[in-house]
Chain A
Amino acid sequence: MFHKSELQSGVNLYTRQTTQFKTVSVAIKFTAPLTEENAAARTVLANVLEDSSAHYPTRTKLRQALEELYGAVYYTDTSKRGNEHIFTIYAESVNEEYLRNPEVPVFEQLLTLVTECLFKPNLTDGFFDEATVEREKQTVIDRIGSIYNDKTRFANKRMLELIRSGQPASLSASGTEKAVSAITKESLKTTYDQMLSEDTIDIYILGDVDTDQLTDHAKTLFPFMKEARKSVPVTASTKSEGAITAKHIRERQEMKQGKLNIAFSTPVGFKHPDYPKMQMMNGVLGGFAHSKLFINVREKESLAYYCSSSYASHYGLLYIMSGIDAEQEEKTAALIDQQIEALRNGDISDLEMRQTLALLSNSIRSSFDSAKGQIEIYDQYKLLDENFSSDKLIEKWERVTKEDVQEMAALLTKEITYLLSGREAMDHE
């Protein structure tokens, strides 16, 4: 779907000419190993590079320039995938064809603005502006802290910390407050230099543009230093250490609902040949509104508004999340166990298999209906197959049998049952 050209070793350009969208999108992804320090430094850097550039030295000037370009989008973000940390610059502007007399070539100008922000940042005496760095450190610290306010996310984060402490699975893509605090304007410049010279880089351009011409100009647009770049070997652990006794942990905050989360480990990760089978198993168990968890925990027993499972394939984990009355913890946990047992016993209908295949297929096909979806899905699956297409993946799901699903369920090892609930709910027990 994307046309790949290698600009230099470790730097690839992926282009796709399409009239599907009214905008042209560009994404630049820098990949490095995931560590707490790396995540913190690169996230602060992401914020600093989004703030200003040498040409637009204040936030206001940069934002006004984007508004003049018909509300063009420019932002940076960090994320993680297995043991990789990914720094992404994302930009998008309206295709001029849809604008009445634009005075300037909008996408061309946006591309200039983006490359300036990246290659000609706003430096004072060779370093980033101290006040800006300090402010963005605080912003990232606030972001890390804000997860506390979303109890659903917080419960999941706590659960992961309890079973994968200090490992990529529980590390935040923004790092930790401690690692962010340690950053200085000098260390941030080192982070920046390293990112440009050592990271592997994937550039995506998608829209109704002359992709051949862009490819020809790409080396001028993106003048990265020619240094050896090593890709991060993706070896995220899909095993925990030693024999496992499932933990059972309850924690409390001031809140009303109980968040009951259960995590299982599995030896099947993203690159494992059985990956499509595990995706099907997760779908039958709890991915959809026809899944066993939804039907039994919500519809039959009215215990929850949400009860679903997700498969974190890059970490060899599967977790179940539900929001319940904390007093119903045991009943709900037992009912969830029964659903896993049912899968292990092969209690799987043809209908469940058909529905799961249908919705997985619909989901992957639909995700290509947004520019960002095309870039993100391709960027992930290209690790498995550079000629990835949704049809190829769907073919693999089609071949999965009930016996496969049963076998996958047997590979789940329960690691933890975690309940986050209100103080009142538990105190009178």
Chain B
Amino acid sequence: MNKIHFEQLQETLYHQKLENGLNVYVLPKEGFSKTYVTFTTKYGSVDRTFIPRGGKELVTVPDGIAHFLEHKMFEKEEGDVFQQFSENAAAANAFTSFTRTSYLFSSTSELYENTKTLLDFVQQPYFTEKTVEKEKGIIAQEITMYDDQADWRQYFGTIENLFENHPVRIDIAGTVETIQDITAEHLYECYETFYHPSNMVFFAVGNVNPEEMLKFVEQDQLAKSFEAPEPVVRSFPDEPDHVAKKRSELYMDVSKPKLMVGTKCRKTDMSGKDMLIRELASDVTLDILFGRSSDFFTQAYNEGLIDESFSYEFNLENGFGFAAIGSDTDKPEELEKLIKRVLDDMKNNWSITDEQLERIRKKRIGLFMRALNSPEYIANQFTHYNFNEMNLFDVVPVLEGLTTEQLKTAFDDLYYEDGQTIMTIYPMEQSK
């Protein structure tokens, strides 16, 4: 067992790597009533081409399968796992992202019964043709619900424009058509390949005794048999630096047009500390350029180019990265021009001052400290970082050491010729 104490944060993290390869982390938080527990596999929507466990050839599976598998894990021969969690006073859930599938519960009592339920249901697959068919109607309604959400359509439309080949451009849940091809056999194939304990992380945070929890998980895993760990072989197509499409538009039943500028990150073969520096440097740069204290924000807000829906974000994973900046706006053309002007000015005349960096550095350190109040943030963010060999608890030291040179490097790889796209959604009545 490793015990790592973070003096400044006053947090202690406990870690153990089990024989079967599972990484178990526990972070006790004093004063909390609940324990939030996640069990996550490094398997998301982008993992569509891979060599199945025991196989030799690459296969490509139908779109939306990681998410479909997540849904189907909850159904067992004896019924729905939610029933068991409810009986033991736990609120359970799961989510699938581009690179992860996470199963979780939160409870204020019966911690070990619920932990057992979590470990068992994720490690005992049960798929039949009948249950798979039944789920198609439910997921079709989930996909249809998202189809009506303009924010969602715009975000995924932007990503689709940015990437020519990388599977990040495919909707996480697939489409109503692609999920029809999914079979129980596919689910088993993906399960066997990606749900081996060596490809997973267990994280418990909150009201928990670390020694006890580590021991409990270890005992549970020792009592189950697993095949030997094997590295997962995934395959990704080559992705050019330039965007797939410079512009696209969509007409929906919305009250006001929506504009999003997407910009593609051309350096993504990173992991560990380099990746953390890159991520934080990009976040800080965007804060300086577009944050609420920026000249851009004042001008855009005063001129009515943006409203409260304005937001920006940066995402980086090994293999893909992008920033997205967007708002509801009555003047999409003017907003597009202003955002481009801010980015061009910075490119042509790099002018981030030490004073700006200092201020945003402080802001980001405070933001991180505040986020540590949330067990959900800690578990999810830690796991995300862990899969990329980064450490969540390095955030403050990396922020403290961040330099304007690092900001410039990050910006140069994020804003370059042919690396941008525009996605606009117009209200129906403007459609021709």
- A residues whose Cβ falls under 8 Å from a Cβ of B: 18-23, 58-60, 63-64, 66-73, 92-94, 97-100, 131, 135, 138-139, 142-143, 145-146, 148-152, 253-257, 288-290, 294-295, 298-299, 302-306, 323-325, 351, 354-356, 358-359, 361-363, 365-366, 368-371
Contacts and interface: CB of A to CB of B under 8 A. Distances in A.
A104 B33 CA distance: 33
Given A19-B31, A98-B10, A149-B255, A70 B87 contact: no
Size band of the interface chain B makes with A = 35 or more
Contacts of B148: 151, 255-257
A351 B8 contact: no
B89 A361 contact: yes
A365 B34 contact: yes
12 contacts: A19-B30, A23-B370, A23-B373, A59-B297, A63-B293, A139-B307, A255-B253, A295-B80, A302-B137, A302-B138, A305-B142, A325-B141
B367 interface: yes
Contact of B86 (A21, A143, A288, A302): A288
Interface string B89-132: 11110000000000000111100000000000000000000000
Interface of B: 8-10, 29-34, 80, 82-83, 85-92, 106-109, 134-139, 141-142, 144-145, 147-151, 206, 252-256, 291-295, 297-298, 301-302, 304, 307-309, 328, 359-360, 362-367, 369-370, 372-375, 400, 428
B73 to A, nearest CB: 14
B293 A64 contact: yes
B247 to A, nearest CB: 22
A365 B33 contact: yes
B301 A135 contact: yes
B149 A138 contact: no
B91 A359 contact: yes
Nearest to A47: B308
A146 B258 CA distance: 11
Given A365-B108, A366-B33, A94 B144 contact: no
Nearest to B206: A369
A292 to B, nearest CB: 12
Contacts of B360: 67
A139 B307 CA distance: 6
A20 B32 CA distance: 7
Contacts of A256: 144, 147-148
Contacts of B107: 362
Given A146-B256, A324-B141, A370-B373, A18 B89 contact: no
Nearest to A307: B141
Top-9 shortest CB links A-B: A71-B366, A70-B366, A302-B137, A20-B31, A358-B89, A71-B363, A355-B86, A63-B293, A254-B253
Contacts of B293: 60, 63-64, 67
A366 B108 contact: yes
Contacts of A363: 91
A142 B400 CA distance: 39
A73 B256 contact: no
A104 to B, nearest CB: 11
B176 to A, nearest CB: 10
B308 A305 contact: no
